[in-house]
Structure 1
């Protein structure tokens, strides 16, 4: 096309500016890319369109003189170009068509409008090319007069603006949909509110910034009633989750508060404040426009705000549900579930974790405060503890409440350590009308580069806490792998013990007891044996504490009683009706409300005389909970059962309680019997025997292995003995054989 071809439209040529007009990427102009290998076409086109204004915006031109050059410009600035005036024939016959194809397929530029021009009608593209590459218009240069060019440009700009608006709306809607699909994410309200601002900008066709604000009491986990920024876009993005009055713009603060007060939209020359409300969940959306909006846009925005209000309510409801699942409602701290998530985030992050420490802080004797002062005082104390930790440890430490009276901390070792945390509890806490001193126990776990998952880290911290609770010297403990190994071993042993007991693999052995004068068998002690998988037996010193720890001792103890009585009945039926059996009883059995009835039932069902059953207890059992033991033994003594104290003299029993117990027999511990032949004084053994005689009790010496021990104990006045000198513990079948063949020493 040359200048003469515009004569019919009375084109008034303007003076050319020197050089080419630069590309603009702002919203004051429409960016047009002219692609043609004829430089004169560039000049004429630019002059023909230089005074065109569409929707208040002039045209800005970019230039390319080949297909490859056009692709380069589009790669760098394609997202801001509205129209491409594209010559078909340039370096090749289809260079323009190749540009159109690469625009749509490679560069994914679907918004810019394409107007094809050619000076050679024979090179007109096929109809399918026009459709496939979304080409707006096709003209030969001879038919493209100024008026037709203007018409084509205006129509293409309108098409571009519509497509751009649709795509921008789609982006805004996708953000809202994405927010709704991820409502359980921490910033779901933030994402929704950002989408609102983006969508408003798309609807009115302006690049607007803005904020979405609401009162804290309406949607946030805050006690105050101040207005907060929930979401923002543009220049206001840094104010999210901050109070509205922190904005350095008095007009925004004033207008948002006015909107919430009036509960209505506000429209002004350069801004709008839109009101949103659904079921009491209200918000004000301040949009910075830069210019006033027309009536049509106002109506569109009002419909839009009404339609998304329900979504705003849903987001807030889901936010509250999420808080219920991941936040402690009392202290407003993350709960156990969220604390585990926080630990998982550490593992997933690429940050250096080797200086991080996890701590569990357990409030000692918290149940006493609840029981003595009431739950309200306990709740106020927990709130006060949480506030002091937050105020003193600050943002450098992340924390949560992971149990009724246990707090979790995550931070660097120079802050999360015993000294720093203990210092927080040196002064008492105010809980309502009460001023309460608080002591804590702490378990620490240093994070390693090969960090485990959150649940495992919490488990390791808890292992350290439990170890600290059992310590007599310190109120804290750091996790070490051997702690977990010991715990794992203990749990494995308990699991195996439970399995073997259920499969009746446990055995009851018996060790005979003899009269020291006649050396005839007068009874036997029932001893529990647990066969080891690899052969031999697991020591009672190992498995009895495990059975007591797990509570399995109640079931095992009941079986031992029943089995011992049953076996004794078999001996009585053989004519050995003078024999008795001794059974050891642990403290957990005494705590069992059914214990007394259990003993009585075992005797009744076996049909043996109650005096033939002797219950053995240790001094430590007596001193653990004396009154429970005394009351139970008195009830059983009244039923006819005999009572003995095992290992007497090794504990620290009070003689006052000793006098209260309905005892029949004292057992002298083997350690004192050994003193008889080790060159040491047998003073303690003599004292125990003398004490027994003074109290009118029988005495029996344990661990008698040598003849001189038996002789010495007899001289002291001891009545009975048991030990390897007479017989080792043996299964019941061997006991029968032993009794058949045993004869007292002449």
Structure 2
């Protein structure tokens, strides 16, 4: 100890330093060690290190006696310090609050012999205390998640900080207020609350830093009414971070007395803020997964899976109760949605679906379960386990829904009217199966919905078992139609199209089904089913092929027949990528000049994809086909689109012709005829049934007619004779 510089360092060091003999006797100690141990050790050489560390003597003995510590002994003999980082010894003294770390280094004489040991020690009690608190808190919340985790965490924080309050909160979207997730007040979990953060210490925490004020926080933030009201003195708040680095919430400890050990508390709070952030993210991910599984992506309403879950829970809650109806399921289907979706595009269709969900959610009474199960179908669940539900109550709610959906939707600069049909089922009922399933209920409601649509739409039908027979009949038609395509039950009919004098100009092909048992089945019975099932595509191909075959036969027989034949083309058929090529190939097959053929398309078919439609129409007309717009005025077309499409003919729908009465003007029909002429298209009136209608149409400028007044539909093979007879009568 005679080196003056070394001695100066020894004396001024803040760490306690002891010089020991190889036997463990204390030879020297610096003032820091003397102050810590509370005795002038350097003057009492009878003291050894083991007497000072009486609770941990075994650990020092093992440094030299334990075979496992041989590496340490060899290191010291070589004149190197002990490998402290690999062998950290944290020893507790007689004072249970003091924890020390030791560093042991060898001291050698000029001959290189090990003569003494230098032992330095540091008091890490604060670090050990913090670690113990962290371990205790972590242990308390380790097995918890979600709300249980947050409540347990704030309870532990309030306890270890000896504080009256602790809470965890998340910022709202505006970041102007906080809503607590969990609040501990006076040792118990309390109700959550929201409060504005402007002018509060929490406002500083948003700046991504921990705010720690051991005392006087009320004076620093006089505008924080919460601090004033609660009498808060000490405050520590740490931000909870999102993975992108933004602050999404805050974890806070508050006390009515000054907070001690503020620096330790800051680091502890930051550790648990990170853990709380991880739990918030885990919960967000869990909620996202739940939303994906049970929420409709377009409307954010419950989806089909969530509906089935709700129905199942409803059945469980109702088990064992009487069979009087206490619940009702409403299946809502938007009328004409497919037409609008095809004509105006899926973006507008999606917006209608979103607005429908929003309107129903906002306007329907509370307590009604509303879901979207796909496409344009929504489902309502009405439940009253106390008083039950009767038919008038169901009808009243259905009328409200129908009224809501009859109101127009504003989509951009478009006003769109949609309407809806509803099928409802009350349950349980004595006339329903006792063990009905969720799928059974959906099937019953779907059957009732079909009845509502079949009865004219924009109405509600409540299911009864009698409806099942009608569904069975529908399925029978579908099965029979498949058979009809293969067994020559379908027939080609034609209806002449004439001028005012009755001279035939062309004829429209009409499909008829001659059933071997039921006789003639009207088209309105099977065409809608064919469209729903996709059979319309096969029917369309069959009609086109058989019509061309008939024209080919007439040509071979050299008989009279209409100069042009109009054939209806479904939207499905026209949308096929090979439609143009297929139609050309059939004409080649039967050696028919395409100029003989008029293809009738609805607005739905034409406006599905304007660019593709224009390309197909150009190709068809270049080949020689003429194109007619069927059912003009009933769709959702834009005249701007129609003006740009290569069309040859407009066909005014029968519903407008029916309105023509003696002595009445029909400005709408007049406008349609004027539009056709302006666009240089022929105009044909469909469904002319009286001479008065024909005369008025003629006065409006229409020159081509089709309807019972002139001729009824007839088998195609009778058309030549009809023309011959007609010509004879005219002579």
When normalised by structure 2's length, the TM-score is 0.42
Instruction: Compare relative contact order (CA 8 Å, sep 6+) and give the higher one, 1 or 2.
Output: 2
